[in-house]
Amino acid sequence: MTKKRIGIVGGGIIGTAIAYFLTHEHPDAEVYLFEKNTIGSGTTAKSAGTHCLIDDSLPHEFWSIRLFGFKFYTELEKRIPGSTGFEQTGTLLIAPYPEYEKYALQAVDLAVASGYQAEYWKDPEKIRTIIPDLTLDGVLGAAYSPDDGFVDATMISNTLARLSREKGAKVMIGTEVQNVNVVDNKVTGVDTNKGTSIWTCWSIPPAHGRLSLAKRSA
């Protein structure tokens, strides 16, 4: 069976994650990852790397995505110590008004229902056991999870790139894609700064809405 050739432009956290899941879940894929600098550089290197269940950056409608990422990185760190740079610090989410308190309470319920540790505290002294110098005038309470922390996005990117390479992905660093050549709805080549043209025939099946090249820019 002919393998499906898939090109990924960008070796940051998104590009390496795409490469990882393609190589691990789709053995019929022939994966090429292009990175113009080094793996995990650019925007990925500037990421805060928050690894949290108790967090206000996403509405709860995206809980399944948050939980998937949390489990994936946590399990990756357990399987390969040091692979994610995970530092377990816990998260304290302060609720200054009723709508925020509702969000925090829901976050605690979701975390506990998913098998993790989380609590909601109204007692100011209990909140100060985590951050002693907090001024809590007018604060309604706080959600806390000791399971949360931070990861190193660049370290994760390099881990995912290595694991993808072990599964057969071609990871090309220092290789900038400058042009994607398309003739009759087929990718005939990828021009890079190294003067090479990859692939002689690369189909884009429009009926399925799939592009054989996943191109992204940070």
**Which CATH number belongs to the domain containing residue 158 in this structure?**
3.50.50.60
Per-residue tens of pLDDT for the chain, all 218 residues: 577 888 899 999 999 999 999 999 998 888 999 999 999 998 999 999 999 999 888 899 999 999 999 999 999 999 999 999 999 999 999 999 999 999 999 999 999 999 999 999 999 999 999 999 999 999 999 999 999 999 999 999 999 999 999 999 999 999 999 988 888 887 777 889 987 665 544 433 333 333 333 333 32
Kindly state whether residues 90 and 73 are assigned to the same domain: yes
Note the pLDDT of residue 4: 80
On whether both 72 and 112 belong to a single domain, the answer is yes
Structural domain for 210, as ranges:
4-46+154-215
Which pLDDT score, from 0 to 100, does residue 195 have? 73
Domain boundary among 151, 180, 195: 151
Which one of 151, 175, 195 terminates a domain?
151
pLDDT computed for residue 1 by the predictor: 57
Give the Cα separation of 153 and 158 in Å (integer).
9
Are residues 69 and 136 located together in one domain of the fold?
Answer: yes
pLDDT on residue 199 = 56
Whether 66 and 132 map to the same domain: the answer is yes
The pLDDT score that the predictor gives to residue 45 is: 94
pTM for the structure as a whole: 0.83
Q: State whether 93 and 177 are in the same domain.
A: no
CATH (domain of 86):
3.30.9.10
pLDDT score for 73: 96
pLDDT of residue 212: 38
Residues 34 and 61 reside in one and the same domain: no
Last residue within a domain, chosen from 122, 151, 180? 151
Instruction: Mark whether 23 and 74 lie in a shared domain.
Output: no
Q: Note whether 63 and 142 are same-domain residues.
A: yes
User: Are 21 and 80 in a shared domain?
Assistant: no
Residue 102 carries which side chain, given as an amino acid letter? Answer: K
Looking at the 3D structure of the chain, how many domains does it have?
Answer: 2
Asked if 94 and 128 sit in the same domain, the reply is yes
Residue 205 and residue 168 share a domain? yes
